[in-house]
């Protein structure tokens, strides 16, 4: 049974409400994750050095900050050396199947931090089995800056 009048054409309609909801959810997600990513960076007065031109994008490293007074912060949260070791080992187990040689760590030491604090952190990392760690510096131009 067709109750439509003869000669009337039914046009299909597309409901935009679910699509708008999904787009708004994506916008909220990306706004949240972008602010969370910027919160991980602790303000550290890094030494000025020429750095690498291309950064490796294959996997994000664990960021370890060392403040001028020797405090160790992992991903922006103050941690002791035992906690650092636990985080590094968990990263190796979770992402690399226990292969600690694949874990990457970025050590960002404040310019005013004593070298002994950096040495302690590096010894902790190598003791946990990390073989790939790099140091962070503030990038300067080709001429080396002022």
Do 64 and 72 touch, CB atoms closer than 8 A? Answer: yes
pLDDT band at 3 (very low <50, low <70, confident <90, very high): low
Q: Is residue 42 part of a domain?
A: no
Do 130 and 88 touch, CB atoms closer than 8 A? Answer: yes
pLDDT band at 21 (very low <50, low <70, confident <90, very high): very high
pLDDT digits (tens, 9 = 90+) for 97-145: 777 777 888 888 888 888 899 889 999 988 888 887 887 766 555 544 4
Mean pLDDT of 12-21: 85
d(CA 104, CA 116): 21
Provide the CATH number for the domain around residue 83.
Answer: 3.30.420.270
Q: Is residue 65 part of a domain?
A: yes
Owning domain of residue 130? 48-138
Per-residue confidence (pLDDT) for residue 45, from 0 to 100: 63
Query: Number of structural domains, the chain?
Result: 1
Q: Is residue 38 part of a domain?
A: no
pLDDT digits (tens, 9 = 90+) for 32-91: 777 655 555 666 666 666 655 555 555 567 888 888 888 898 888 888 999 989 988 888
């Amino acid at each position: 049974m067709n109750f439509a009048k003869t000669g009337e054409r039914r046009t299909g309609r597309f409901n935009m409400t679910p699509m708008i909801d999904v787009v708004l959810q994506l916008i909220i997600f990306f706004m949240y994750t972008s602010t969370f990513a910027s919160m991980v960076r602790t303000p550290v007065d890094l030494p000025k050095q020429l750095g690498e031109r291309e950064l490796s994008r294959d996997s994000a490293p664990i960021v370890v900050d060392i403040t001028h007074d020797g405090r160790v912060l992992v991903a922006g949260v103050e941690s002791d050396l035992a906690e650092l070791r636990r985080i590094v080992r968990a990263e190796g187990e979770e992402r690399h199947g226990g292969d600690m040689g694949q874990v990457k760590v970025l050590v960002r030491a404040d310019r005013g931090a004593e070298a002994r604090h950096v040495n302690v952190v590096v010894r902790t990392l190598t003791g946990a089995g990390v073989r790939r760690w790099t140091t962070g510096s503030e990038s300067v131009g080709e001429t080396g800056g002022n």
